[in-house]
Chain A
Amino acid sequence: MFGKLYAGELKKMFSLKTALIMIAIFIFGFAVITIALNSFKDLTVGAIETDGPEVDISIWETFKRNISEEQAKAELNVLKAQLKELEKEKKDKGFTYYMGFLAGTDGIYNCKSQIAVYKYIIDNGLYNQDLYFYDSAVFAIGGLIDESATSFASMMLGVFAFLLSVYALIIGSGAYANEMQNGTLKILLLKPITRNQLTLAKLLAMLTIVVAAVMAVFVLITAFSYIAYDDPLDTMYYVFNASSVFKAPVSFPLFLAWLDLLLGSLAFGIMAFFFGTLMKKRVFGFVFPYAFNFAATIASLIGIGRFWITNTVAWSGFFGMGSGISTGSNFFISMPLAIVYFGGMIALSFVVFNRRDVA
């Protein structure tokens, strides 16, 4: 009997129209980011003046490598030492070498830019002559690209997260509120089922659809990455591991990014379900989760608030990927607290609906 109830709820909540609209928005967004990221490739080229012809160096390949700042620095130091040895050999020949403006600057962008340039010089034997790296702008652009790509990717992640949260809100808020507004709840309550069974069926159906939606986005992004990019894995890093595109270790950031999306969407679904059920009107299921989230954001900016009101949907902070509001929050305090909050909302949904007089 419960199976039928659950299947019925799934059918009621899932709307093909909404799903198709979401997919359309997704495809549009992905097309935009594809074009934008591809256009960066052409920007990441600097020029070196040699004795012979001017040489173009693309730093794109180095730039998109998923290495941490420490790794980049170590790699750069190896290259520098290598070049010094080569320089010694050719010292008697004497050459001018203007790379001074790079010295003393650090940071991941410069490291990566320098790696690209040093590598090019070593690989092509250019240390043997006068060099003037005249297009200093390339390094500026390098930094810019890094930040643009990061911010673009994080914007894209934001769009996905937003789309998924909106979808979770649509489904969660409508679970009971729709039936109350339709009047169909009166029919359901005349069926030989308990109210707890109904709430459980609705909750499970909502969670199922949200998980399925996150999975669908995962499948779509993977498929699109393989279709649109030469290096799909790197693209996926850009998109999902946005804030760590150039920084995070290659451990398992994709998985964490997924967990972040999934937990965030589920959190929104549960909040929408709770507020929609509590307030009987769908609009509250939309507004209150955002209000709650906003309150949590504000609270987490202030001292103890960042521990006690958890960063409701900024889970990435817990995984060392994000910065901002979650900085300073402690996974082992905030996570259990989040479980208490959302578990509490689920439990209250049951209690509230069980005691309610259906008008």
Chain B
Amino acid sequence: MAAVLEVKNLTKVYPRKGHKDGLTAVNDVSFRVNEGEIVGFIGPNGAGKTTTIKMIAGLARPTAGEVFICGHSVTRDRVNAMKHVGGVIETPDMYPDMSGLKNLNYLVSLHPKETMLDPSDERFSTVSKKELDAQRVEDVLKMVGLWDRRGDQVRKYSLGMKQRLGIAQALLSKPKLLILDEPANGLDPAGIKYIRELLRRLADTYKIGMLVSSHQLSELQLMCDRVIIINNGKIIAERRMDELSAGEYKGGARIIIRVDRPAEAAALLKEKLEIQAEVIGEELRATTSAETAVITKELVLGGFNVYGITREEIRLEDVFIDATGEGR
């Protein structure tokens, strides 16, 4: 799979007053985002997330290292790199006195015609930039469900609508890479679901690679293919989401077994399947890679009444807290 974003040894040092060495906000960070892949970018506050995203977007200059978007360096070939990027950074800001439509009309005009339509297309010479722009603006506004409110001033939009307009704005350029900072911020549950499904659909349909930073870990778990965890300016962990849902993390999934005579059942499981199970009240808890069917069979053959076996997916939250050491 082709990488739409390649971050190589990115470092950012901010000068500090009274200190010889600066404050290292981002320290030798490298990762990549492939096309069609949604990558979550998580970390505690002040971990260096936003600084990294700003360097990727070209808002801040890296002290060292380089960022490549579709093979173009952001620092050295900015115009070509930014042809393929859309993003909402920190807050979905727009010109408040203009309508949503006017905002997008202005922003879309800053993209070259080739972005809107492939030059090899037979319509390329006949259709005007203006028509293409108008079509694109209509498309993205309908995509995020703001077409009916297009004439309203942005200052009258709710935070959720601003968030959606921000995403619409990011999609104007038919991007290959989307950079989203807290895209679900301020959205109601229905809005969050809508955005999550929209992003997933965009990634699958148009093969857009996405780097999504968020604190809503449960949402990220539902949406992402992969997460990168950053703390103190360094990448400390990287997990694939399918590993988590298959329970292939730290030696298996967490299983809760409700059974009569739990203590004896625990002894049986240890003897037959080498599972270390813990007795908590009427339940047994264990972390194992063994199939639930196998466990059930053993317990039933051992003469136990099995009331239920629940296989718990590993939550991203646990992985996060585990990796960052927060919350202890």
Specify the chain B residue showing the minimal Cβ separation from A15: B97
CB <8 Å contact, B61 and A355: yes
CB <8 Å contact, A186 and B106: no
Option from B80, B82, B91, B110 in Cβ contact (under 8 Å) with A5? B110
Count chain B residues whose beta carbon lies closer than 8 angstroms to a beta carbon of A.
Answer: 33
B61 CB to nearest A CB, Å: 6
Which residues of chain A have C-beta atoms less than 8 A from B61's C-beta? 355, 357
A233 to B300, CA, bound (A): 111
Pick out which of these stretches binds chain A: B52-60, B189-197, B268-276.
B52-60
B137 CB to nearest A CB, Å: 14
Which residues of chain B have C-beta atoms less than 8 A from A1's C-beta? 110, 112
Which residues of chain B have C-beta atoms less than 8 A from A12's C-beta? 95
Pick out which of these stretches binds chain B: A123-131, A158-166, A191-199, A310-318.
A191-199
Cβ proximity bits B36-58 to A, threshold 8 Å, 1 near / 0 not:
00000000000000000010011
Count chain A residues whose beta carbon lies closer than 8 angstroms to a beta carbon of B.
Answer: 22
B85 at the interface (CB under 8 A from A): yes
CB <8 Å contact, A189 and B79: no
Specify the chain A residue showing the minimal Cβ separation from B166: A187
A11 to B112, CA, bound (A): 20
Which residues of chain A have C-beta atoms less than 8 A from B106's C-beta? 8, 11
A222 at the interface (CB under 8 A from B): no
B3 at the interface (CB under 8 A from A): no
Which residues of chain A have C-beta atoms less than 8 A from B94's C-beta? 184, 187
Option from A4, A5, A11, A184 in Cβ contact (under 8 Å) with B93? A184
A358 at the interface (CB under 8 A from B): yes
The residue among A1, A184, A187, A192 with the most chain B CB atoms within 10 A of its own CB is A187
CB <8 Å contact, B58 and A190: yes
CB <8 Å contact, A8 and B110: yes
Which residues of chain A have C-beta atoms less than 8 A from B96's C-beta? 182
A357 to B96, CA, bound (A): 23
CB <8 Å contact, A183 and B79: no
CB <8 Å contact, A186 and B107: no
Option from A7, A187, A189, A192 in Cβ contact (under 8 Å) with B112? A192
Which residues of chain B have C-beta atoms less than 8 A from A11's C-beta? 106
Which residues of chain A have C-beta atoms less than 8 A from B80's C-beta? 192
B281 CB to nearest A CB, Å: 52
Which residues of chain A have C-beta atoms less than 8 A from B60's C-beta? 357-358
B185 CB to nearest A CB, Å: 14
A158 to B95, CA, bound (A): 35
Specify the chain A residue showing the minimal Cβ separation from B61: A357
Cβ proximity bits B203-215 to A, threshold 8 Å, 1 near / 0 not:
0000000000000
Beyond A183-B93, A186-B89, A190-B89, 7 additional contacts (C-beta under 8 Å) are A5-B110, A8-B110, A182-B93, A186-B57, A190-B58, A191-B173, A194-B79
B residues with a Cβ closer than 8 A to A are: 54, 57-61, 78-83, 85-87, 89-91, 93-96, 106-107, 109-112, 115, 169-170, 173, 179
A residues with a Cβ closer than 8 A to B are: 1, 4-5, 7-8, 11-12, 182-184, 186-194, 355, 357-358
